[in-house]
Every structure is written in C-alpha cells, then in structure tokens.
Structure 1
C-alpha cells in the first residue's frame, strides 16, 4: 500500500499468478484509496492450492490419519524442496529490488508492506533496521520467524493473528508482544481473530461466514494501519 505519485487507486499485479491476492489487493485499494502492488516472489513457482487439501479449516479440527500421512509425504516431496528453492538468499534480493523499483520508477514516497504466511517474514525484514525498505508493515499469520526478527524492527508494525497457528504460535506472539512493548517508540498492534487458523487472511473460504468475518476484519485493520502510518 503506497502513498506518493500514484496514478489511480487500483491494484497493479506484477507477475502474480493466483486470483486470491488480486481480490484482496483490490479490496484493500478500494477501502484505502492507496495503490496496491503485488510482487511475484516465486517467479511463477507458487505452491498449488491442492497442497492443503484435507487440512483443518477451523480451530480444534483434527486431520485423519490418512490425511496426516499424505500431508507428511507432500511435505517431503513438495514443500521442503520448494522452501529450499525459495530460501532467503534467493527471495530477499527479489523483495529488495521490488521495493527499490517502486520508489525509483514510480516515485513512491511511503510504503506499507503487507505479508501473508511466507511473505510475512519478508514484511518483517522490509521493516527491519538492516533493510528498512518499508515505512510501515503488517504481518498476517506470519511464518518462518523468530524473536530476532521482532527485535530488529524499526517501523510501525501490526499483526493479524489466527486463533490457532502452528507458525505464529501463542508463545511466539506473546514473545513478540513483549519485545515490542520494550520499544515504545515503535507503534505496534495485534489483532487476534476468532474461529481462524493459519492462512485464513490469504485464502478465506467464501462459504464460511466466521472466516469471512475475520477476513474482512483483517482487511479493515490493514487499511487503518496504512491510513495512520503512511
């Protein structure tokens, strides 16, 4: 979400393959009046939606034994190699170039980075002391992070959190809150949604009213953070 020399408040997808990010980006742009750009962090190599077939959608739901075995197999054969192909040494330069291009080519002066799941890590890096690519950030059910990422933040940061999240666990969220509470100069805020699991804000089920309510709450939260800090 951007403030600067923008032409019109609509989404500009940059090599984005999935429909979901475009739908969400259009909703954010319409609500905020800001331009929203979508990078392709994976060079067309996104994980297929079918990867998560059969996994729980609501808190407390358990996977069947068969689904657990199938998911473990897919992790070894699909997700693990994918994570290696898109390790930080590969992905961070893509992120760095994306933000710098927005400023140099499009004349953008203020940027809020919003990262979902895997992208949440790169939103945090974009708001870190080391990289400082963004002026405000929002992480939605962030993945692959540790306390160092929160200690290194130096821009206003907000988090959209699921009720149950195997990546951004209750313990990690509490640790992040504690770290940021010791940095009063950096505005921070956490939105904990009800009836949700990891991934809800990126791929909400339109037939589930509880998830759609949380999805809309997340979008409103992201927009409000941008309006406050851009």
Structure 2
C-alpha cells in the first residue's frame, strides 16, 4: 500500500505562479519549451525530427499544490523541452493542499511534538481507502500509460522522467523497463522495492535526504551497493546533508542549508537529464 509519513504531509509552498496550462481532458499540467529553444534547423543532424519531453511525477499532494507546476516551468526553461505533470490521482490526491503543515522539523536530528504526532495520525487514519486506491502499482500503471500516450499520440521520441516522493518510487520502478524512457531521476523517493535495484536498465539518479523514513541509511547503502554492481547502465546516488524527506519538492527556503540543497539538486537534475535525454543506443 502507498503509505504516508509525517514528512509526506510536511512542507512549504514554492514562490511564484505557474505559467502553463491544465488539460480539461486528463487533468495533466503542460508547460511548453521556451520560444528560445533550438529549432529543428538548429539541431545537429542526428537530432532532427526528434521530439523531447520531460514527465514530472508528483508527491502525494498531486497537482493540489502549485509546487510541481512551478518546478515543471523551471525544467522547461532550463532543458528547453515540453514538460508534463500527469494527474495520477485524477483530481483527488490523498493529501489535500490545506493539510500542508509543519508536522516535522525541516532539518534532521530534531523531534516533532506530541501534538503534531497526534494531529498527523488523526489525519492519516481516514486516508486509508485513498492510500490503497493509489498504491504504487496503480500509480506506476497510470504513469506508464501516460508516457505511452505521449509517444503514440503526440509523437515524442525522447522522454525523461523525474519523480518526487511518491513519484520518485514510481521512477525507480520505471528504470527496470528497458528502452521505455531515456533517463530517470528519483528525488527522496517514497515506497521503493529494493529488489528492483539490481534490475535497473535505464540511467537513474537518486537524490536522497539525510533523514528519511522511506530511504533510511541502511536501505540507501544497500541501494548504492546494488547499483554499483551494474556495469551496463549509468547510475548515481547522492545524499544531501542537512535535509529531510521532501526537501526537493516542498522546501523551506528560509533555511539556508535546505535552500542550498534544493537549488543544488535542481541543477544536478538538469545536468543529469540534459546529458542523457537525447542519447540513443
């Protein structure tokens, strides 16, 4: 079952206003490549006729928060490609936007209050049906179908995927599907299946928080060890010190170490995707 922890419901709203559009058909958010992006005439010969997109998979707030839309706009600008954010929860995310609260501290090695703990559990219990309905296997199936539709119906030939929290766990699973997408990134992934790591077949980067109930230090070490044994695919695991789960999606920008980790991770995601999204075996 898809689970939530105190950190999954904790965070802050990113500044800014989304610039893209939301489809009235499937609820997906779309932001286009900037007008300054290279045209087919400016591309090198090997890239002419290819069409690129990035798919951003959200946390449990889905599109209820503006954060994934703002991130999508930033990626479109930096990568020069179209970016889509599918509505994996079909308008009914497990966590409502007004439930975004500081249930846990924004930095590691601190403790949350008994009142925050009690409030969290009172909110969590009624969400059990929604969590079951949106378990990772269901989310992955929806993500796969969305990506396949981008290929079949919209003609995209090069696709990258970046996932945060819940979406990060889905991204790890998609990495085992050879040739489905070009490159993947998982930021502080939520529920992950460790048995998938030895079977990763697509370039995968994981950006982890120092303190995380989903990817604990022992689990992270086992993931790194499994990925290090792969000699036919590029992988990367990086831990950002001074961070907790959610720092790349819902950061407290008022804390310097969190803001720096957020910006550094964004830049490294851009570099990882940019270097691999047009690569063809």
Q: TM-score, normalised by structure 1?
A: 0.88
Cα deviation 1:196-220 (Å, max 9, x = unaligned): 1001111112322221211111111
Tell me, in whole angstroms, the C-alpha distance in 1 between the residues paired with 2:123 and 2:100. 7
Q: Are the aligned partners of 1:11 and 1:26 in contact in 2 as well (CA < 8 Å)?
A: no
* Number of residues of Structure 1 aligned to a counterpart in Structure 2: 225
Matched, 1:160 2:200: no
1:89, distance to aligned residue in structure 2 (A):
4.5
Relative to structure 2, which stretch is displaced further, 208-217 or 134-143?
Answer: 208-217
1:227, distance to aligned residue in structure 2 (A):
1.4
Tell me, in whole angstroms, the C-alpha distance in 2 between the residues paired with 1:225 and 1:81. 37
1:5 maps to what in 2? 51
The match for 1:69 among 97, 118, 121 is 118
Cα deviation 1:111-142 (Å, max 9, x = unaligned): 1111110111211122213x753221100000
The match for 1:54 among 90, 100, 103 is 103
Tell me, in whole angstroms, the C-alpha distance in 1 between the residues paired with 2:161 and 2:71. 14
1:39 maps to what in 2? 86
Q: Secondary structure at the match of 1:194?
A: strand
Tell me, in whole angstroms, the C-alpha distance in 1 between the residues paired with 2:126 and 2:100. 11
Aligned-CA RMSD value: 2.6
Q: Give 4+ residue runs of structure 1 displaced > 3 Å after superposition.
A: 1-4, 9-13
Matched, 1:22 2:56: no
1:146, distance to aligned residue in structure 2 (A):
2.3
Which of the two has greater helix per residue? 1
Which of 1 and 2 has greater Rg?
2
Tell me, in whole angstroms, the C-alpha distance in 2 between the residues paired with 1:64 and 1:77. 21
1:179 maps to what in 2? 226
Matched, 1:87 2:135: yes
| Structure 2 unpaired stretches of 5+ | 1-31, 34-46
CA 1:189–1:90 in 2, change beyond 3 Å: closer, same or farther? Answer: closer
| Structure 1 unpaired stretches of 5+ | none
